[in-house]
């Protein structure tokens, strides 16, 4: 639980903001932070936000204004402090393969951005498939383009890139000659579809899930998803995830 | 002046201070061990534990409400064997461990107590007869004084350890249930468990929780919890462990002044894992400011002051 | 598409929309008349009224809590004669007036009903058998189904007007009390009244309220209120008027989807006097967005959806 | 219920702030405003603050940071909006006498400042007795000095003015030759003492009271004080007050 000063807080779209905080955190890609929104009891719970990027003396978050809590967060100003618990959870697993395919849907880009940077810095080839409803929701795609090897875009309304779901972009890659690791984050339905497609090609995907959290540290058992391999067993998204192998959760 | 004395006794347990985490909000201690020094706690209350592992309810299990939290965990727990292993790792903190005991039937509870009866790592049992996410014959277990009496008596015969009965707030007359527990041999009662509540998702047009209803906790319930602690501590002679919405030392002190000998903190830990420590420090500071030597002296003080005031008013009137 | 139809019927009353202020939070209407056009309300529920004037409790009567309010007004009211004069001035709004009826004994309630029985300005009686700031023999009136049944039957014999029974949430089984009211002839039940709570002033070391305990209302209680509306509307066949913590249209819709035919708004008015109007507008907008023609169609919809889902799951399992 | 923009928000002491709002309100001295502190449900209730001063196109509040709500108010910045219900309540009654004695204790100066200005503008002689714990809590005494005919100070610690309670300043005035009206606002014990002293000289005082409010408009009956002239009767502080004749409430 540490207070971090807000160095910058910018709109990246009408419904999303990017926030830079002063300080060092030891986070691996895929981990998240529990952000306190208010010092009062309403909203009561912290809000989980992924580590979006990390630098020497600062780190950043990217969030969509989804409801009351994030709307209140959007009001915070440069110089204000943000009380944060974390980094929490298990991040994306390492890969020994030279190529990684990252698939983001909308705000799902949040944790994948940091993953992309880390993989690129390790010399991996990063192919990034990024889909959203419309061009505006392809958050921070310009900054992303500078990091990744390939960036393929798709929008539901065709305003940018492929006119269709991001999963269509995937198709050509199944025939790819080289082996590659797949990481995905986005709406539950998108993750489910990717997992289904991947399973068809006997591949698994590292998916980052979102559920309602309370404690964020594994103590309350509130955030669970079913373990598909063991009936009656559950995983805690906050502490055993938020990243899971698609085969065990879908 | 020397430091105020924060010791309290609950049954056979000697607690070095009256603050403990609430069951189900602290797992078996392991998750919060990296956030603060658990040895500073008055006691550690672990998750509701059954003889065999329980899977718990289907998700979604959580919903946030105004200053409150709804949960329908459904007592997911790894069962007595694995729980014991986890509890043993807590021994080196030197803090009494209270085992929260759950089950579907009286036999279930007794199985758990038998399993842990000779186990040194556990100092006390807290019978959770009040989980709103479980039902026994349509109505939760802990709403019938007679059933509570019988379960408490049976449990008492199985163990010499301190026996605490955790009361449900979802009743017309909580003092009657507390008295039944006392009569059954409980060394203490703890309250409140969660208030039965629900939330509806108006876009999906269905309940938010898969279980439909869940237990409400957090600051929203504090006034109800405090009133019940007031009522129960007036009715019974055994110590009361108060909880429900405590977020800071001031909240904890309200419960102690109302009649609680000790307090537990649950939901507040999710926002601030250091709440227990801050409450201990705040209680110490309060006793110093008020030049009170021991926390025991202020247990129920608001009741005493209130009684005195009423008497004075009565005299004035007559 | 034409505007959605917001009409609902409660007993003999035809309300043009399902939104009304809650008793005791709106006086006799006069205070809020300068803030908005009262003729837009579905109904007006006036303060709990007794045959003779009642002084109410000693102050302090209020304490703010997390997302909640404790009150111990003690039913201060000017008595039936003066209340009638005030109610008559509401006639020109053309909105049904519901008289909240209070008393210490069954006779007290009956006296009030007799007084207003022939009075056109009053369209319905709401029997407040649930005020937590009054007690009859140690326990609040409305916690015993048998007493509620008898009082309702007696009242029913005295009047042809719509008879509503307002239920206490401070009970183990609210559906049982609701069924007793229905059996006694109630045309509707309303719920919840306030939850019994308290607060302690840690610097004075005594209860904040002169009355020690008070009734908790506001957003803090919404999850409990919603759960009770869900339970009661499943149990009875008469309409349910839901209330407890409603602050906006979304909250009101949760109650309607849970099974309430109409809703009342109390504490939220203190923060925003326009809450009723905003709720009416918001319900209208929701029906339009969801292409629903009448509000009646969504009463209890969450229950229906839930039942369907459960059935599907059952089928899947077997 | 109107939103007013904050034009200025200044510290007047370590524990008190002065806030200027843009807009016109039709308030008489002694009336108050119900100020919304938060858009969330915690704190739930509005906070009552007296009209401290009124100008052509602005008005001001003076408040002590007494707890959580006022602490949150103190965080608001110039340019933010404040949602306000009011003016509410009955103000100080007019006087036909040429002289008025105003007695303030600490933050009790808040409504009396505006009263002083209005009386002075009507050509009355305004004698102002102002007491507090220490000099710092004689809030805005310099601005006050410019308005009133006489300003007498008292502090509990003797740091400024008379070393003693403000009620001691009163003593010399009972012998005053001209008739005068008395208005007072401050801690309950101070008001009680003034009322007792005044009653001893067969005088009454217009006192402005504070109790816990909820609705602020007279609907909830929560804010009452006992009517000393009729047992079992109460006054609503918000709508029948906050100004009362000392004889009926003490
Ligand atoms: C591990 C993890 C990492 C996350 N990382 C990011 C991120 O980097 N950027 C980002 O924009 N969002 C992220 N989210 C989602 C984010 O936490 C929610 O959008 C946020 O909590 C909503 O809060 P609110 O108060 O604004 O909305 P609320 O008013 O609480 O809810 C608005 C809507 O969002 C839903 N919701 C609430 N909480 C969650 C949740 N935890 N997960 C999913 N839906 C929720 C509600 O059911 C409701 O439909 C992450 C979630 C998790 C679990
Ligand atoms: C008609 C009226 C006019 C007022 N005008 C002013 C003014 O101009 N300037 C100013 O600084 N204050 C004024 N007050 C008092 C002010 O409303 C309270 O100080 C404020 O509401 C405290 O809110 P809080 O959240 O900061 O404190 P809380 O945390 O709510 O409480 C802090 C302390 O103040 C007490 N308190 C809470 N509410 C009130 C209240 N309404 N009256 C008295 N004590 C209370 C609590 O019991 C507690 O001891 C006025 C009060 C009334 C009723
Ligand atoms: C997520 C969660 C899980 C809980 N699990 C248990 C449990 O296993 N056994 C039990 O007796 N109480 C359980 N409770 C109830 C708490 O111990 C406590 O009685 C209640 O939450 C009120 O305290 P609080 O407001 O401080 O959280 C649980 C509460 C929460 C929020
Ligand atoms: C100040 C106050 C006074 C009340 N007086 C009455 C009353 O006279 N009769 C009654 O039946 N309910 C009374 N109630 C209860 C409300 O009508 C309502 O049932 C309860 O407050 C829950 O709704 P809310 O959360 O919207 O306020 C009162 C509530 C408050 C806050
Ligand atoms: S949020 Fe508590 S266990 Fe995951
Ligand atoms: S605050 Fe409601 S009547 Fe005064």
Residue D167 has pLDDT above 90, yes or no: yes
What pLDDT is recorded for position C318? Answer: 43
Tell me, yes or no, if A42 comes closer than 8 A to chain D by beta carbon. yes
- As beta bridge partners, residue A183 has A102, A206
- What is the mean pLDDT of the segment spanning B224-248? 98
Tell me, yes or no, if D202 comes closer than 8 A to chain A by beta carbon. no
Ligand nearest to C-alpha D89:
2
Tell me, yes or no, if A41 comes closer than 8 A to chain D by beta carbon. yes
* Order of strands, sheet of D47-50, starting from the edge strand that comes earlier in the sequence: D47-50, D32-35, D81-88, D2-13, D16-22, D58-64, D53-54
Q: What atom in ligand 4 is closest to the CA of residue C24?
A: 5
- What lies within 8 Å, CB to CB, of B147 at 6+ separation is B106, B129, B141
Q: Which of D217, D234, D241, D242 to mutate to test the pocket of ligand 6 (most atoms within 8 A of CB)?
A: D217
- What lies within 8 Å, CB to CB, of B40 at 6+ separation is B17, B276, B277, B280
In sign, the C-alpha dihedral spanning B280, A41, A67, D70 is negative
What pLDDT is recorded for position B138? Answer: 44
In tens, the pLDDT along A101-137 reads 999 999 999 999 999 999 999 999 999 999 999 999 9
Residues of chain C with Cβ-Cβ distance to B256 below 8 Å are none
ipTM of the complex: 0.96
Nearest to D42 among A42, A68, A72 (CB): A42
Shortest Cα distance from B178 to chain A (angstroms)? 27
Nearest to B25 among A42, A43, A219 (CB): A219
Tell me, yes or no, if D42 comes closer than 8 A to chain B by beta carbon. yes
Tell me, yes or no, if B91 comes closer than 8 A to chain D by beta carbon. no
Q: Which of D37, D47, D217 to mutate to test the pocket of ligand 2 (most atoms within 8 A of CB)?
A: D47
DSSP designation for C270: H
What pLDDT is recorded for position B141? Answer: 75
Residues with CB under 6 A from ligand 5: A 213-216, 218-223, 236-239
Cβ contact C36:C93 at 8 Å? no
Residue B283 has pLDDT above 80, yes or no: yes
Secondary structure in 3-state letters for A191-229: HHHHHHHHHHCCCCCEEECCCCCCCCCCCCCCCEEECCC
Whether ligand 1 lies within 6 angstroms of the CB of A206 is answered as no
Nearest CA-CA partner of B180 in B145, B204, B205 = B145
Confidence of residue D176 (pLDDT cuts 50, 70, 90): confident
What pLDDT is recorded for position D155? Answer: 97
- What lies within 8 Å, CB to CB, of D173 at 6+ separation is D101, D127, D180
Residue C69 has pLDDT above 70, yes or no: yes
Q: What atom in ligand 5 is closest to the CA of residue A220?
A: 2
Shortest Cα distance from A67 to chain C (angstroms)? 13
- What lies within 8 Å, CB to CB, of B313 at 6+ separation is none
Nearest to B200 among C200, C221, C302 (CB): C302
Cα–Cα dist C61/C73, whole Å: 6
The CA dihedral of D184, D185, D191, D195, to the nearest 10 degrees, is 20
Supply the mean pLDDT for chain D: 96
What pLDDT is recorded for position C316? Answer: 53
Catalytic status, residue B248: no
What pLDDT is recorded for position B148? Answer: 94
What pLDDT is recorded for position A172? Answer: 86
Supply the mean pLDDT for chain C: 94
Residue B318 has pLDDT above 60, yes or no: no
Ligand nearest to C-alpha C202:
2
- What lies within 8 Å, CB to CB, of A230 at 6+ separation is none
Residue B316 has pLDDT above 60, yes or no: no
What pLDDT is recorded for position A165? Answer: 95
Residue B112 belongs to what H/E stretch?
A: helix B106-116
- What is the mean pLDDT of the segment spanning C226-241? 98
Angle between helices C275-289 and C249-258 (to 10 degrees): 60
Q: Which residues of D155-166 are buried (b: 16+ CB within 10 A; e: fewer)?
A: beeeebbbeebb
Cα–Cα dist C40/C277, whole Å: 7
Place of tokens 């939290």: B69
Cα–Cα dist C96/C15, whole Å: 7
- What is the mean pLDDT of the segment spanning A46-66? 97
Tell me, yes or no, if C66 comes closer than 8 A to chain A by beta carbon. yes
The SS3 call for residue D231 is: coil
The SS3 call for residue C46 is: coil
Residue D226 has pLDDT above 80, yes or no: yes
- State percent of chain A over pLDDT 90: 94
DSSP designation for C78: -
Shortest Cα distance from A40 to chain C (angstroms)? 9
Cβ contact B167:B182 at 8 Å? no
Confidence of residue D38 (pLDDT cuts 50, 70, 90): very high
Shortest Cα distance from A24 to chain D (angstroms)? 28
**What is the β-pairing status of strands B19-21 and A243-245?**
unpaired
- What is the mean pLDDT of the segment spanning B173-179? 97
- State percent of chain C over pLDDT 70: 95
What pLDDT is recorded for position B137? Answer: 46
Residue C308 has pLDDT above 80, yes or no: yes
DSSP designation for B158: H
Q: What atom in ligand 2 is closest to the CA of residue D238?
A: 1
Confidence of residue C68 (pLDDT cuts 50, 70, 90): very high
Q: What atom in ligand 6 is closest to the CA of residue D216?
A: 1
Residue C85 belongs to what H/E stretch?
A: helix C79-88
In tens, the pLDDT along C164-198 reads 999 999 999 999 999 999 999 999 999 999 999 99
Cα–Cα dist C132/C140, whole Å: 6
- What lies within 8 Å, CB to CB, of B170 at 6+ separation is B130, B132, B140, B143, B195, B196, C172
Say how many Å lie between the first and final Cα of chain A, rounded.
33
- As beta bridge partners, residue A48 has A34
Whether ligand 1 lies within 6 angstroms of the CB of A107 is answered as yes
- What lies within 8 Å, CB to CB, of A191 at 6+ separation is A105, A184, A185, A205, A207, A209, A246, A250
Cα–Cα dist A216/A237, whole Å: 8
- What is the mean pLDDT of the segment spanning B138-142? 64
Cβ contact B176:B149 at 8 Å? no
- What is the mean pLDDT of the segment spanning D80-86? 96
Ligand nearest to C-alpha A212:
1
Exposure on the CB side of residue A241, measured as CA atoms within 13 A: 29
């Amino acid at each position: 639980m540490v207070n971090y000063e807000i160095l910058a807080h910018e709109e990246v779209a009408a419904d999303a903001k990017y926030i830079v905080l002063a300080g060092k955190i030891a986070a691996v890609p895929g981990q998240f932070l529990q952000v306190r929104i208010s010092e009062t009891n309403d909203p009561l719970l912290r809000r989980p936000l992924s580590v979006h990027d990390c630098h020497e003396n600062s780190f950043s978050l990217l969030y969509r204004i989804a409801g009351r809590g994030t709307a209140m967060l959007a009001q915070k100003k440069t110089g204000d402090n943000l009380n944060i618990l974390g980094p929490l959870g298990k991040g994306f697993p390492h890969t020994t393969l030279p190529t990684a395919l990252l698939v983001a849907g909308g705000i799902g880009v949040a944790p994948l951005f940091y993953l992309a940077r880390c993989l690129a810095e390790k010399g991996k080839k990063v192919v990034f498939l990024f889909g959203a409803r419309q061009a505006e929701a392809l958050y921070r795609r310009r900054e992303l383009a500078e990091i990744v090897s390939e960036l393929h875009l798709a929008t539901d309304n065709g305003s940018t890139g492929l006119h269709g779901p991001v999963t269509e972009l995937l198709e050509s890659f199944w025939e790819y000659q080289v082996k590659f690791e797949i990481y995905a984050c986005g709406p539950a339905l998108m993750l489910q579809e990717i997992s289904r497609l991947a399973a068809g090609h006997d591949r698994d995907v590292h998916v980052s899930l979102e559920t309602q959290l309370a404690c964020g540290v594994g103590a309350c058992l509130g955030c669970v998803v079913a373990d598909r391999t063991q009936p009656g067993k559950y995983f805690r998204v906050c502490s055993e995830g938020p990243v899971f192998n698609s085969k065990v959760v879908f | 002046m020397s430091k105020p004395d924060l010791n309290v006794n609950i049954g056979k347990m000697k607690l070095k201070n009256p603050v403990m985490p609430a069951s189900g909000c602290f797992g078996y201690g392991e998750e919060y061990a990296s956030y603060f020094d658990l040895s500073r706690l008055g006691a550690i209350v672990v998750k509701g534990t059954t003889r065999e592992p329980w899977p718990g309810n289907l998700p979604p299990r959580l919903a946030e409400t105004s200053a409150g939290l709804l949960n329908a965990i459904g007592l997911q727990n790894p069962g007595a064997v694995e729980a014991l292993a986890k509890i043993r790792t807590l021994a080196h903190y030197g803090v009494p461990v209270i085992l929260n005991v759950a089950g579907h039937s009286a036999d279930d509870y007794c199985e758990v107590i038998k399993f842990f009866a000779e186990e040194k790592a556990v100092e006390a049992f807290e019978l959770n007869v009040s989980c709103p996410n479980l039902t026994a014959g349509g109505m939760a277990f802990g709403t019938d004084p007679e059933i509570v009496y019988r379960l408490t008596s049976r449990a008492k015969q199985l163990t010499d350890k301190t026996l605490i009965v955790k009361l449900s707030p979802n009743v017309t007359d909580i003092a009657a249930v507390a008295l039944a527990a006392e009569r059954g041999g409980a060394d203490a009662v703890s309250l409140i468990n969660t208030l039965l509540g629900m939330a509806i998702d108006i876009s999906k047009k269905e309940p938010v929780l898969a279980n439909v209803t869940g237990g409400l906790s957090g600051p929203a319930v504090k006034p109800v919890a405090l009133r019940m602690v007031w009522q129960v501590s007036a009715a019974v002679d055994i110590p009361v462990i108060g909880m429900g919405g405590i977020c800071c030392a001031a909240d904890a002190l309200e419960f102690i002044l109302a009649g609680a000998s000790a307090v537990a903190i649950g939901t507040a830990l999710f926002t601030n894992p250091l709440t227990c420590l801050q409450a201990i420090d705040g209680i110490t500071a309060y006793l110093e400011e008020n030049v009170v030597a021991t926390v025991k002296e202020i247990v129920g003080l608001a009741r005493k002051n209130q009684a005195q005031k009423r008497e004075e008013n009565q005299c004035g009137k007559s």
